[in-house]
């Protein structure tokens, strides 16, 4: 399998993502954390923005932006092609199906990473402008890296759901919002089964965020370490891609 195959398919996938209304929707979502910081600055009484960024913007990105932006960007990547039957053009070429899927995934991930970067950096840049000093960029970079890793893992799962079901959106809501964001923020050991638990571990280490959502979600006493979190998220991405590939080998392309 040649790298040019991945390159052209990733390019196609990225162009398609950037040109669609869903990308604008995802960008609008990514603007909301920044809007939150601006509104807090405008309407809050003597508030320091940096703690607000860490306590409110970071969890907003983590628990709301990541699942919804991932769903908007990644669900249609292959799902749309299956629904229309256009995936048949890829599957009737002398290229293995997994390579086609990987190319499409990489391109869409690039679009998702851009959206998440906007969500993480836009409020930080605003904060840096009105409240110079502080660790704005370090925290923003840490947040972006964590979100991007989350996007890789959840994106691969969305890819699988897109191939698996015509009602992928419902399954994605369950997987990303309930199993991911909601279960990951519950107290007790159950949350360690959710990918969000590991995202929170990364945010805890890279952004120094102690308590998620200022008490809305219970804090974690012993968050998972960086290495473990990264490995779990990468493994989830690999599992998602593997499942997608295995399913694509067996699943009929709709007429």
Partner 1 sequence: MAVFRAARYLPYDGPRSRFPAWWPILGSTVRRGWKSLWVRRITLASLMLAFGLMVFFYVLNKVVPDWRNLLRQFGEMSTGDEGTFRVDARFYAALMSVFVIPILLPLALAFGSGLVASDLRSNAIEAYFARPVTPLGYLFGRSLAFVGFLLAATLVPLLVVWGSDVTTAPSDHFDEVAGVPWGLTRSLVLIAVVVALLVQAVATLTRNATATNVFLGVFFVFFQGLGQSLARSTGRDAFRALSFLDDVRVIGAANLGLLTPERAADLPPLHLAHGFVFGLGLLSFLLTWRALRRRSMLA
Partner 2 sequence: MTPPALRCVGLCRWYGEVQGLSGLDLEVEGGVVGLLGPNGAGKSTLMRLVTGLARPSRGFVEVFGRRMDRPGRHEVFRRVGYAPGEDVHFETERARDFLTILAVLGGDAPGAARRRADAALELVGMEEFAAKRLDAMSKGMRQRIKLAQTVLFEPELLLLDEPLNGMDPVNRRRVMDLVREWGREGRTVLFASHVLHEVEAVTDRVVLLHQGRLLAEGRLEEIREIADERPRRVELDTDHPREIAAEALEADLVDGVSFPGGDLLVLETRSLDRLLTHLERYGEGGWISALEVEEADLESLFAMMVDEGVTR
- Under the rule (CB under 8 A), what is the footprint of partner 2? 2, 4-5, 7-9, 12, 15-16, 19-20, 84-86, 88-97, 100, 249-250, 252-253, 255
The CB-of-98 to partner 1 minimum distance in angstroms stands at 26
Phi-psi region of 133 (alpha: psi -120 to 50; beta: other; left: phi over 0): left
For position 177 contacting partner 1 by CB under 8 A, the verdict is yes
Partner whose footprint covers residue 9, from partner 2, partner 1, none (CB < 5 to 8 Å by kind) = partner 2
For position 183 contacting partner 1 by CB under 8 A, the verdict is no
* Residue spans of beta strands (DSSP E) within the chain: none
Partner whose footprint covers residue 94, from partner 2, partner 1, none (CB < 5 to 8 Å by kind) = partner 2
Residue list 136-175, contact with partner 1 (CB under 8 A): 169, 173
DSSP secondary structure letters along 78-95:
HHHHHHHTTHHHHHTSSS
The CB-of-77 to partner 2 minimum distance in angstroms stands at 13
Contact assessment for residue 23 and residue 109, using Cβ atoms and an 8 Å cutoff: no
Beta-carbon contacts of 53 under 8 Å, excluding residues fewer than 6 positions away, are 37, 123, 124, 127, 136, 139
Residue 19 — φ and ψ, nearest 5°?
Answer: -90, -5
Contact assessment for residue 210 and residue 204, using Cβ atoms and an 8 Å cutoff: yes
What residues line the site for partner 1 (CB under 8 A)?
Answer: 21-22, 25, 29, 32, 35-36, 39-40, 43-45, 47, 52, 55-56, 59-60, 63-64, 68, 71-72, 169, 173, 177, 213-214, 216
């Amino acid at each position: 399998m040649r790298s040019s195959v991945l390159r052209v398919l990733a390019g196609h996938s990225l162009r398609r993502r950037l040109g669609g209304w869903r990308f604008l929707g995802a960008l609008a979502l990514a603007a909301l954390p920044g809007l939150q910081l601006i509104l807090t600055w405008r309407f809050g009484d003597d508030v320091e923005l940096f703690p607000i960024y860490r306590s409110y913007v970071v969890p907003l990105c983590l628990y709301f932006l990541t699942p919804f932006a991932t769903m908007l960007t990644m669900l249609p990547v292959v799902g749309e092609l299956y629904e229309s039957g256009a995936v048949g053009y890829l599957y009737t070429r002398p290229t293995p199906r997994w390579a086609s899927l990987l190319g499409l995934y990489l391109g869409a991930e690039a679009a998702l990473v851009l959206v998440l970067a906007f969500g993480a950096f836009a409020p930080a840049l605003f904060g840096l402008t009105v409240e110079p000093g502080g660790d704005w960029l370090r925290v923003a970079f840490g947040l972006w890296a964590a979100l991007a890793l989350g996007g890789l893992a959840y994106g691969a799962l969305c890819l699988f759901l897109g191939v698996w079901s015509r009602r992928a959106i419902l399954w994605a809501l369950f997987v990303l919002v309930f199993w991911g964001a909601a279960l990951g923020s519950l107290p007790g050991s159950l949350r360690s089964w959710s990918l969000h638990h590991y995202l929170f571990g990364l945010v805890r280490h890279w952004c120094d965020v102690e308590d998620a959502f200022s008490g809305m979600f219970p804090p974690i006493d012993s968050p998972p370490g960086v290495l473990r979190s990264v490995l779990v998220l990468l493994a989830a991405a690999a599992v998602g891609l593997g499942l997608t590939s295995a399913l694509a080998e067996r699943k009929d392309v709709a007429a």
